Every structure is written in C-alpha cells, then in structure tokens.
C-alpha cells in the first residue's frame, strides 16, 4: 500500500512559496509492533506550523527537509499492531499532511464520545478549542464581567475565545478584517472591530468606542498594530495571553514592536506566552465544559474546507491571507 | 516659619529643562489638627517622578503646576498635632522637594529600629529596596539557581536586586554603563555587562557570554535595547518583572519596541509590570528578611549625595544621565 505525503524542500524566508511543498509517495512496509495504519479523512493546517518551517527549534522541532510533514489529522484505523486500537476506529493523531499514515500508536487516540462531526476534534473540540479555553481561563484568568479583546477573532481559536468569554458574561470585542467575518462576530454578540486600513492609533480609537470601559483581557493572536492598540486601552491589572503573533510569522526581517510597551508598567499588566501542548492534562476538563455547549448548539463554529490532499499547501498558505473563517481543514476522499 | 520648596512650572516634553523647576517659599500657617511639621534632613529623587511630570494620570497623579512637589524624605519632627508623633522623632514621609514640610501625619512614619544610617530608609531599606525585593520575589518568582539578568544594575533598585539574587544562590548578570559601576558589580560577584556603544544584537551576545545557560529572570529597569537583548536570551518559562523603562521616560516621540516580542510566545515567558505601592502590606516581611543582611554588612549599598535643597532638580536630572551609583539623595543642613 502506498502513502502519499508532502515534504518541505527548503526552509523559507518570508511567506513560503507553493513550490517548497512537494507531493511524494512511498510504499509502506509491514507494520512494526506498536504501529498502526490510518486512512486519513481530515487534515488540519494551523498557523503554528509556520514555526516548524523555520529550521530553528522554537517550541517544537522543525520539519525535517524531505521527510513527511506532520500535523493534526482524523482518520480510520485500517490495520493495527496495538490491541488498544482496532480496524474501523476513528482516531485523532499527528500524522497529517498525507493520506495514509503509518505511525507509532502512542500518539493515536480514539475520538471522545460526543455527538459532533468527527472533524470537530481538529477544531472546536480539538487543539484550537483547547487553546482558546486554556489561554482565556488558565493564562488570562478571565472572570465574569471582564472586558475582553480578541485579535483574529473569527479564526479557529479566536472564534472560540469570543464565545467562551460571552458565555462567562464578559463584554467582548473582536478584531477581524473581512465584512462577512465582522458580521459573523456581530451575530455572536461580539462588538466587531475592523483592522483594515487603520493605523494602530485609529484601531485604538475603534477599540475604545467598542469597549468604553477599557480592556481587562487581551487574547493575542496577531501582534503588530493589534498589540499596540490593545496596550493603549488596558485597564489596571490587565492580562494578555499571547497565543500567536501571526502578523510576524512570515516577516522577512525584524519588524519593530509596539512603541507603548511601557503600558505594561503603567497598567501593572501581565503578558504571558503559552503553548497548548503544556496544558493537555486539562483536556478532559475542557471537554467536560465545552462539549455540551457545542452539542447543544450554544457554540457556533465554522469550517473552511479544501478538498483533496493536493490542496493542503494552499489551505495552509491561505491562513496568512485571511482565507479562512473558523477552522481551516482539508477533506480527503472517504 | 518659612518653608522653601520646588514647584514645576510646566509639563515637559523630553528631558525636563532645569528652568522648569522653581524654588519658591511660603510662611507656614499654624498647625491644623492632625498635622505635623518636619525639618527635612534627606530628600529622595527617583526616576518614577518623571511620570508625575507628564501631566497625565499614569499610576500616580501628576504634580500640580505651581504647587510644592512631593517625594520621599527623612526628617525630624519639630512640631506635632498628632499624639503618635513627638518633637525629635525621625520620620519618613512624602513631603520632599522642600526643607520644612507641614503635612497631614497620616503618611508620616517613625523610622523602624535598625542599626543603619537614617537615609537608608530612602534607599536599601526604603522604597527602592522594597521595589527590588517585590519585583524579584513576588513578580519574577525568582528561585535559587535561576539565571538572573538586571538592567540599570548599579542603580538604587538594581544594585539591591543583584545582591538579593546572589544571596538566593542565583547566577547574576548586571547591565550598566560606566567602568566604575561595572567594577562595583564585579566586586559583588555579579557578571558585569556594558550596554555602551552596543546594538541590541551585540548586547545579546555579551549577555549570552555572561550567562551561557540563558536567562530565567529579567528585572527590567530600562527598556530599549536591554529588553530586546534580554528577550533573545530567555529560557523557557522565563519571568520578566517590569519595574521601569527609564530609557523611554524622556522620549519626545514614540520609539519602537523590541522586534522580537514573539519570544514571549516561543519561550512561554511571562512579563508583568508592578508598582511597589501595591505591595506595602509586605513591607515588614521585606524588612525582616533584608534589614539583618544590611546591618550585618552582607548587602553593600552606595549613595550619590548632592548637598543642599537647591541641588534637588540637578540630582533628579542626573538620574537620566547615569549620574548616580546606587541611591541618589539630597542632604539638607542639619
């Protein structure tokens, strides 16, 4: 049986060229003990993957050039050398960017039992959802009544953050670009603010208008003018959860940071970076709290779906052009 | 009886001109109930006072133009309408920038009983010492064995931070400018690093050389290239206590922040601003821990002393030119 997979041919500077991604294939050997073979049905592409293309060890190891790339995926077990897993099981694992994954079973998990489409475990009930919940609660220590600001608020993570904050009884402002994203945010009870064609100062004014009582919690996905504008509106004791800075992932040279970082001092604010991988021991807590809200339809989530393995690099690259509303996914033939 | 005091005639942009400070005087009225009259012996000038000259409410109210300025001071009670205080008591209070202070007794405290010179309560055992202790322990959560970096390390606060960290069993790197400051740091067992004539990148290399195992705690007094260099050397889970950003206090226009703020995410670091005023309920804890070290001579502290009330504005302005080693003080006639 053959596996088709993407490899990276070089570490890019700036936004990766499509040509850096090569579709390759290999005939799979027999299963080793403890291995499992999975036919993937859904692949995840996520902004953090850009960090693995830098060639430098950041918080995850870089992709190895010429080797199958990795990422979250949902698939069906078609052969197993681990008694914990059997043919027909639907599982989540990290053997993405390919159609057939043959990997150690140690990172392969059957899906929890909730009444949601399976691909939700790559989004609202998976890594992005867990990221939203962790950043909002465990890092930013969000409390009912807080004034919450979220950048990239219509993305896979941001759209969960705004809804979890609303459910907590917070006043929520969401920054996004396209009109249909702003409209979606508004439909969720969020004050939508566009960053388009605005300076940091103008964005700051818009945030002030949307949240006249300042900002207690800022969930940071973007950096750049969003961070500068947020800093200018912080309340005393504000907390900033730094989940991502997608605005700088493809920068070809260093770009200056916010000119008003001294607001951290003036407002006695806290800023903290976090990686969801460090918090997985709280996944069941997250699931217990959020899954019922999803199955009851109280949390709205969107997906942007590309079809076919070949579209995976394009799906990934569109993340940096605002091409997704909610979770960006690749659907494979089933 | 006359009081001589300084007033501010305008809110400066950039480094204040000496001419903005006016020496004025007034005849003191009789004491009101609850008031006390104090002959000052020592005046404190501190970088945070620049924030009170901005005309904007930051974390303290601005100085009022034409009114007596305020600041930490040590003096002798010469008349009292509060039974808690009697003539001859040596007290600390906020009626500085003047020779005779006539103020409400509510913010006037007799000096604690420790075998140190009285002006130590404006420095090592006063606000700067308490700031160092609070930032290092309560904000940066410094632990034995941490690699600690301190900017403005020979200043009133920084020189205490480095010694408290050394006493905890930390490896400590101190950033300063002048050769005699670097030499003092070295005599304290601190790895001295000069920021002079260095880019952020060069400073980063120098810090790496001085602390090959990275930085776990950064005590921030300066901002600018110090922050950028520190961010580049952070270990995972590093903590940054933002005590001051003196490098930007006199900036006439916004200056860009560090280009590598995304290190907060990559290193899962925490940055937190703090104001010592919020932590005074821990002052006795601080005193119990630090006063014995000071009286036993285990903590070295330096003072830079200007003579006479007239020198107060110059003493203040020299803070921004590296004019002080340790605590900057003004001694009045006794």
**3-state SS class at B139:** helix
Which whole-number Å values give the CA distances from A115 to A119, A292, A330, in the listed order? Answer: 12, 9, 21
Strand-pairing partners, residue B270, are: A272, B239
pLDDT value of residue B104: 97
Query: Is residue B243 predicted with pLDDT exceeding 90?
Result: yes
CA B118 to chain CA centroid, nearest Å: 17
What mean pLDDT is predicted for residues A90-100?
97
What mean pLDDT is predicted for residues A4-10?
97
B261 touches chain A (CB under 8 A): yes
| Mutation target vs A (from B266, B274, B276; most A CBs, 10 A cutoff) | B266
pLDDT value of residue B61: 84
CA A186/CA A192 separation, integer angstroms: 6
**3-state SS class at A316:** helix
Q: How many CB pairs under 8 A join A and B?
A: 101
In chain B, domain spans = 2-120+302-331, 127-277
The pLDDT tens digits for A49-88 are 999 998 777 777 899 999 999 999 999 999 999 999 999 9
Which of B77, B81, B79 is closest to B89 using CA atoms? B77
What mean pLDDT is predicted for residues A243-247?
91
**CB–CB of B274 and A261 under 8 A?**
no
Out of A77-91, A231-245, B52-66, B130-144, pick the least confident: B52-66
Over chain B, what is the mean pLDDT?
95
CA B311/CA A302 separation, integer angstroms: 66
Query: Is residue A118 predicted with pLDDT exceeding 90?
Result: yes
pLDDT band at A131 (very low <50, low <70, confident <90, very high): very high
The complex's ipTM? 0.90
CATH, domain range B127-277: 3.40.50.720
Query: Is residue A250 predicted with pLDDT exceeding 90?
Result: no
Is the separation of the CB atoms in A241 and B264 below 8 Å?
Answer: no
The pLDDT tens digits for A289-307 are 999 999 999 999 999 999 9
The pLDDT tens digits for A307-327 are 999 999 999 999 999 889 999
Instruction: Tally the C-alpha atoms within 13 A of residue B92's C-alpha that lie toward its C-beta.
Output: 15
What mean pLDDT is predicted for residues B315-333?
94
CA B146/CA A154 separation, integer angstroms: 40
pLDDT value of residue B306: 98
A242 touches chain B (CB under 8 A): yes
Query: Is residue A218 predicted with pLDDT exceeding 80?
Result: yes
What mean pLDDT is predicted for residues B65-84?
96
The pLDDT tens digits for B123-162 are 999 999 999 999 999 999 999 999 999 999 999 999 999 9
| Mutation target vs A (from B134, B219, B228, B262; most A CBs, 10 A cutoff) | B262
Q: Where are the alpha helices (DSSP H) in B37-178?
A: 127-133, 158-167
Q: May I ask the CATH architecture of the domain A2-123+302-331? A: Alpha-Beta Complex (3.90)
pLDDT value of residue B255: 85
CA angle A332, A222, A267 (to 5 degrees): 145
| C-alpha dihedral (B160, B161, B162, B165), degrees to nearest 10 | 120
**CB–CB of B275 and A261 under 8 A?**
no
Percent of chain A with pLDDT over 90: 91
What mean pLDDT is predicted for residues A119-140?
97
Paired sense of beta strands A2-8 and A21-27, if any: antiparallel
B265 touches chain A (CB under 8 A): yes
CA A157/CA A316 separation, integer angstroms: 15
For domain B2-120+302-331, the question of CATH label 3.90.180.10 is answered with yes
- Whose tokens are 């580049």? That residue is B232
Residues 6+ apart with CB under 8 A from B264: A242, A271, A272, A273, B231, B271
pLDDT value of residue A271: 98
| Mutation target vs A (from B138, B254, B259, B261; most A CBs, 10 A cutoff) | B261
pLDDT value of residue A54: 86
How close B32 gets to chain A, by Cα (Å)?
35
B60 touches chain A (CB under 8 A): no
């Amino acid at each position: 049986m053959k596996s088709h997979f993407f490899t990276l041919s070089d570490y890019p500077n700036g936004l990766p060229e499509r040509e850096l991604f090569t579709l390759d294939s290999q005939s799979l050997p027999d299963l080793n003990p403890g291995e499992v073979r999975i036919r993937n049905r859904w692949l995840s592409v996520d902004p953090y993957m850009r960090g693995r293309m830098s060639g430098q060890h950041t918080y995850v190891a870089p992709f190895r050039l010429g080797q199958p790339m990795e990422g979250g995926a949902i698939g069906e077990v078609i052969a197993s050398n681990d008694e914990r897993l059997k043919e027909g099981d639907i599982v989540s694992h990290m053997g993405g960017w390919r159609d057939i994954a043959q990997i150690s079973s140690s990172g392969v998990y059957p899906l929890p039992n909730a009444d949601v489409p399976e691909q939700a475990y790559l989004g609202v009930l998976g890594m992005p959802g867990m990221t939203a919940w962790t950043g909002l609660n465990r890092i930013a220590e969000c409390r009912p009544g807080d004034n919450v600001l979220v950048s990239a608020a219509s993305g896979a993570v941001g759209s969960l953050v705004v809804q979890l904050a609303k459910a907590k009884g917070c006043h929520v402002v969401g920054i996004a670009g396209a009109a249909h994203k702003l409209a979606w945010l508004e439909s969720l009870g969020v004050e939508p603010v566009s960053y388009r064609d605005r300076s940091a100062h103008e964005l700051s004014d818009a945030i002030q208008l949307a949240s006249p009582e300042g900002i207690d919690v800022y969930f940071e996905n973007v950096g750049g003018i969003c961070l500068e504008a947020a800093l200018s509106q912080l309340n005393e004791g504000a907390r900033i959860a730094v989940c991502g800075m997608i605005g700088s992932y493809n920068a070809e040279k260093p770009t200056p940071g916010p000119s008003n970082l001294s607001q951290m001092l003036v407002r006695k604010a806290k800023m903290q970076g976090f990686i969801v991988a460090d918090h997985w021991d709280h996944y069941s807590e997250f699931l217990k709290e959020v899954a019922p809200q999803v199955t009851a339809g109280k949390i709205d989530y969107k997906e942007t779906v590309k079809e076919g393995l070949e579209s995976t690099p394009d799906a990934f690259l569109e993340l940096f052009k605002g091409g997704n509303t909610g979770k960006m996914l690749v659907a494979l033939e089933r």
